Every structure is written in C-alpha cells, then in structure tokens.
A and B are shown apart, each in its own frame.
Chain A
Amino acid sequence: MKPQALFTAFSTIVVREVRRFTRIWAQTLLPPAVTMTLYFIIFGNLIGSRIGQMGGFDYMSFIVPGLIMMAVITSSYANVVSSFFSMKFQRSIEELLVSPVPNWVILAGYVAGGMARGLGIGLIVTLLSLAFTQLSIHNLPMMILTVFLTSALFSLGGFINAMLATKFDDISIVPTFVLTPLTYLGGVFYSIDLLPGFWQGVSMINPILYMINGFRYGILGVSDVNPYISLGMILVFITVLAFVALKMLSRGKGIRH
C-alpha cells in the first residue's frame, strides 16, 4: 500500500474507534467524569481540607495530576481491550485481517483510538478540576509528553490483553487486579515520602509511580522521582510492548487458526 493509502487505513481505524466510544458515551465518557468529581469533592474538598499540605501544595492541588493520570490510564486501557476483544468476539476483526492493512497500521490505529479516549477523558477531568482548584503548569512539554506516552503505553497494554483474552472475564482481570492497585499505590493520593523506608523501596518498582510523578512534575514542579527517568522508562515499556504486540499480530495469536 502507498503512504496515502496507509494513512487512509489508519484514519479509518481511528475514526471507527472514536465513533464507537462516542456512540456509547454513557458507558465511556460519563462514568470517569462522575467518579473523578466525587474524588475531588470527597478527597479534595472534604477530607483534603483537614489533611493540609502535601509536597508543598494544598491537598487538592496535589491529587489533581494523579487523578487525571488515573483516568487517562484506565480509559486508554479499557478502550483498546474492550474494542479489540469485541471485534474478536463478533469476528468483525476478520474485516481487517482480509484487508491489506499492515499489522503496524492496525496496532497504531488501535493505540491512537485508545489515546483519543484516554486523552479526551484526561481533558474532561482537567476541566472538572478547575471547578475545585487552580492549575498552574510548571513544565508544559514534560506534562504533554508524559500524558501522551502514558496513554500510548496503556493502549498497547490493552491491545495485548485483548489478543490474549479468550472470554470476557479475561479483559477485566488486569484492570481489576493489576492496574487499579498499582495506580492507587502509585502516589495518586500521597507522596511516598510519607511511607517507611521499606515501602518506599517497594513503591519504586511500581511503574505507574513514575508516570504519575512525571505528570505531577509537569504541572506542579514536584516529584518523588526524577521525571526524566520516568520518561525513559515509559519509552522502554512502549518499545517492549509494541514489539510483543506486533509479534502476536504477525503470528495471529488468538485471531487466526
């Protein structure tokens, strides 16, 4: 396929993905907006006012970057895992498999679709947060780069999960038992300075800690870890997951007999 045709195929996949999650907006866009608003009210306003400062900022300002990233991570992952698995389940993935679209374009299309939802949710949550606190941006490129790459990374994760899944239960295991605990323990609600030394060490092996802190650095200028190490780690993870996903696609894991 020529470059123009490849771009058409890529944009077709992205448009279809966007059409899907906007068609079911009550399932995809509304719930994270409601959940995050509750977090802002309960943790930020009600409890946060008694907590006082964290990392040199009032508690509401401190948790906003983490909550935005939490919404981006879960939405990016959820979009790709549910969309791709549904296509496998309905066999409409065959529409793509019989077409001349190369595997890397299929992967890029799904990742871009996941990013569209993840970043869209991130924007909604950011706008909602402005009703509760003021946001001043410390390092715009760092903030944008971190949130874009994190969204891409978790879209890739969702893709691999969908490739491996054989039943609907399989697409909820990772979000429930891996992503949610790692996100909550990744410094969304606290600085790891509050933890005893041992648990600080344990926290350092949680990759989501780096992403949340990288993003927090972009907004507030404070971080528990070096933000450039965060970016480097995200890039390494993206490279590894993209390689794995492409290998699975070329072997037809779970999609070709």
Chain B
Amino acid sequence: MTNALEIEGLTKIYGDGFEALKGIDLHVAEGDFFALLGPNGAGKSTTLGIVCSLVNKTAGKVRVFGCDIDTHLSDAKLNLGVVPQEFNFNQFEKVFDIVTTQAGYYGIPLREASVSAEKYLKKLGLWSKRDTPARMLSGGMKRRLMIARALVHEPKLLILDEPTAGVDIELRRSMWAFLEEMNRQGTTIILTTHYLEEAEALCRNIAIIDHGKILKNTSKKSLLQQLSLETFVLDTESPLDAAPELGEFATRLDGEGALEVDVQKGQGLNQVFVRLEQLGIKVISMRTKANRLEELFIRMVEENAVESHKSVEGAA
C-alpha cells in the first residue's frame, strides 16, 4: 500500500540553536487515522509545519503520496489539507469567501469552488453563516470553518493540529463523527491532540514524540496492550473510613473518599467484587481513574525525561 506520508531523518534546528527535531522517521499508510502525540514543545507542530511548508526543515526527507517536497512541492501540496492549531483566516472576510478563495489558490475555478464550499459548509453546519464575517463566529464555528477550508479542494491527506482545542464536548463528538466519516470515505487523517481520549477513540495508529524524538510508533491496539496496570475508582454506598484490604489488589482512598483499586494486567476484575462482597461493601458506580492511553503516554514521557536527564548527567 502507498504511504500517505513518509518522513526520514527529519531534523529542525531553529535560528537560536534549539534542536526541535532530532532526525525523526515516520510513515503513515494511505487511509490511516493517525495520531501524533506529545507534550507541549515536543516537536509535533514543527513536524506538521514542515510537511505543510510553514516551517523550513534543516535536513531530512518528506514525501506526501510519493511526492518529495524538495523536488515536487506543488504536487505534494495538492494532496494536502491543513487545519492549523490557531485561527489563521482573515477575520473580516465572509465565511463563503474564505473557503472559495482557498479553493482558488488550488486552481479551482469559482463555479466548482462554490459547489465544494456549499457541500462542506453544509456538512459542518455553517451554511447559514456563509455571509457572516469570520470574526462574528463562535470559537467552535471558527474551528469548523478551518476544516471546511482545508477540505474544499478534496485533499487525500488531512492534517489537523489540535482540531478540537477549546471546543465543548457535544461539538467535539460531532467533529469526531465527521472526521470518522471522512476517513471511511478514504481520506487519510493525521492529528495531534492533547485530548488522549480523542486519539483513543479515533486513531488506528499512534506515534508518541518527545524532545524531538519518536518514542513509539505503533498501532493503538499494541500500544494499549503494553498497559500493565489500570486504576479503577469505585464509589461505595456507605462512606469508608479506611481503604479495605483486597488481597493482591492495592487499594487507597482518594481525596473525596472514593476507593481506588489497582488492577494488574491478567488479574480479573471479578475478584475485586468478590472480595468487596465478602467485606460487605456495596459499590454503586465505577470508572477508570484515567484514560488508558493517557496513562501510557504519561509513563513514556516520564521515562524519556529520566533517560534524557541521565544522558545529560553522563555527558557532564
């Protein structure tokens, strides 16, 4: 299968000497729904910025559907749609004009651009706002406008940098549904997000980047299999004075008096309830303490921070 995106040895050193990317390799297959995760300053936006020609690379190769951005930049760009992290449209222009103007930059005549703009503005619930200046839109509408603008030329690869930042839950879910539909129709999607539940809900493959290095690049399934411990929070019918002893399960009370139980991979949850039943403790609700992917992500980033610290100390 063709790769939608191939990155090899990508390096970026900014003018002040900061090495944002340290020779990363990344491959995203056509049709994939891919997440690039990392803490702030890890190199996510720099990576996507280079792919989209908003950042000049220092070294390395980038190919979009086989088109090298050094030799076939125009062809590479034709395959790309970009939704940036920050609003970057002219706030004084009307919604419809913003979308059709973007299509014009791709060489699409106004008549065709208008049809495509109508299609995506309707799909994203912005058609009634087509004659409204962009500055009058709500934050969620502005985000959807950027998605419509990125799709107007029907790109094969859609890149979204924090697409749901600052968006309420209901709208976020509707945007997820829209993106899943786009992906089902064949659009390859790469997103960065701080909402790890978003990556877990949407993506099939995930790369974790930190300090300019790829820490992990694998399928979501195999990543989650690495999770060896999950913490469950149980709300009990009667308040507990102290955490009960549950044998091989570590327990504690959280700040609000709920019971936290650590369950190792391979341990059955049934045993937890059997023991609670024996102690006469009745559970009225249960949830995981953190999103599964979030636990893995935090652990990997922390381990990387420790290793980086060690290597710095070793060098000193």
A contacts, CB < 8 Å to B:
1-2, 4-6, 8-9, 11-13, 15-16, 19, 23, 86-87, 90-92, 94-102, 252, 256-257
B54 contacts A98, CB within 8 Å? yes
**Known A-B contacts A12-B101, A256-B54, A257-B55; A95 and B88 likewise in contact (beta carbons under 8 Å):** yes
21 pairs of residues in contact across A and B, judged by CB atoms under 8 Å:
A1-B74, A6-B107, A9-B106, A12-B105, A13-B104, A16-B101, A90-B88, A91-B86, A91-B87, A91-B88, A92-B90, A95-B89, A95-B102, A95-B149, A98-B52, A98-B54, A98-B77, A100-B77, A101-B105, A256-B55, A257-B54
- Asked if B82 is at the interface (CB within 8 A of a chain A CB), the reply is yes
In the complex, the chain B residue whose C-beta lies closest to that of A4 is B107
Q: Within the assembled complex, what's the spacing in Å between the Cα atoms of A206 and B175?
A: 59
Judge whether B202 is part of the interface by a CB distance below 8 angstroms.
Answer: no
Residue of B nearest to A252 (CB): B56
Indicate which residue in B14, B86, B105, B107 contacts A95 across the interface (CB closer than 8 Å). B105
Collect the chain B residues with CB atoms within 8 Å of residue A86's CB: 90
Residues of B within 8 A of A16 (CB): 97, 101
Residues of chain B at the chain A interface (Cβ within 8 Å): 14, 49, 52-56, 73-75, 77-78, 80, 82, 84, 86-93, 97, 101-102, 104-109, 149
Within the complex, the shortest CB–CB distance from A84 to chain B, in Å, comes to 12
Give bound CA distance, A94 to B105, whole Å.
12
CA distance A4 to B108 in the complex (A): 9
Check B107 against A256 for contact (C-beta < 8 Å).
no
B91, A256: Cβ atoms closer than 8 Å: no
Q: Is the interface of B mostly helix, strand, loop or mixed?
A: loop
In the complex, A139→B276 CA distance in Å? 102
Contact partner, B74, options A96, A102, A252, A256, Cβ 8 Å: A102
Smallest CB gap from A90: residue in B = B90
A92 to B56, CA, bound (A): 18
**Besides A4-B107, A90-B89, A97-B54, 10 other A-B contacts (C-beta < 8 A):** A9-B105, A9-B107, A12-B101, A13-B104, A87-B90, A91-B88, A92-B90, A95-B102, A100-B78, A256-B56
The residues of B that contact A256 with a CB separation of less than 8 Å are 53-56
Residues of A within 8 A of B97 (CB): 16, 19
Residues from chain B with Cβ under 8 Å of A102 in the complex: 74
Number of A-B contacts (CB under 8 A): 85
Task: Flag if A92 contacts B89 (CB, 8 Å).
Answer: yes
How distant is the Cα of A30 from the Cα of B82 in the complex, in angstroms?
38
Contacts of A100 in B (CB 8 A): 73-75, 77-78, 105-107
Q: Known contacts A9-B107, A95-B101, A100-B106; is A23 also within 8 Å of B92 by CB?
A: yes
**How far, in Å, is A86 (CB) from chain B's closest CB?**
8
The residues of B that contact A92 with a CB separation of less than 8 Å are 88-90
Nearest-CB residue, chain B, relative to A251:
B56
Given contacts A23-B92, A90-B90, A91-B86, contact A97 B53 (CB under 8 A): yes
Which 6 residue pairs across A and B have the least CB separation, nearest first? A5-B107, A12-B104, A99-B105, A91-B88, A100-B77, A100-B74
* Distance between Cα atoms of A127 and B14 in the complex (Å): 53
Interface centre among A94, A98, A252 (most CB of B within 10 A): A98
Closest-CB distance, A61 to chain B (whole angstroms) = 41
Assembled-state Cα–Cα distance A90/B86 (Å): 10
How distant is the Cα of A174 from the Cα of B105 in the complex, in angstroms? 30
In the complex, the answer to whether B89 meets A8 with C-beta atoms within 8 Å is: no
From A96, which residue of chain B is reached at the shortest CB distance?
Answer: B105
Cα-based distance from A257 to B88 in the complex (angstroms): 16
- Complex Cα–Cα for A1 and B108 (A): 11
What is the bound-complex CA distance between A39 and B52, given in angstroms?
A: 50
Bound-state CA distance A211–B53 (Å) is 39
Residues of B within 8 A of A11 (CB): 104
In the complex, residue of chain B having the shortest beta-carbon distance to the beta carbon of A7: B107
- Cβ of A4: which chain B residues have Cβ within 8 Å of it? 107
A91 to B149, CA, bound (A): 15
Known pairs A12-B101, A92-B89; A1 contacts B107 (CB<8 A): yes
Contact of A99 among B77, B93, B109 (CB under 8 A): B77
Q: In the complex the two chains form, is A257's CB within 8 Å of B102's CB?
A: no
In the assembled complex, the Cα of A85 lies from the Cα of B177 at a distance in Å of 38
Q: Select from chain A the residue with minimum beta-carbon distance to B109.
A: A8
A13, B103: Cα distance in complex, Å: 11
B92 to chain A, nearest CB (A): 7
Give Cα A11–Cα B109 distance, bound, in whole angstroms. Answer: 10
> Which residue of the partner chain A has the closest CB to B73?
A100
**Which of B75, B78, B90 has the most chain A CB atoms closer than 10 A to its own CB?**
B90
Closest chain A residue, CB of each to CB of B79: A100
Which chain B residues border A9 with CB–CB below 8 Å? Answer: 104-107
Chain A residues, Cβ within 8 Å of B56: 252, 256-257
Give the docked Cα–Cα distance between A139 and B105 (Å).
39
Report the Cα distance A124→B149, complex, angstroms.
Answer: 37
- Chain A residues near B149 (CB-CB < 8 A): 95
Question: Shortest CB–CB separation between residue A3 and chain B, in angstroms?
Answer: 10
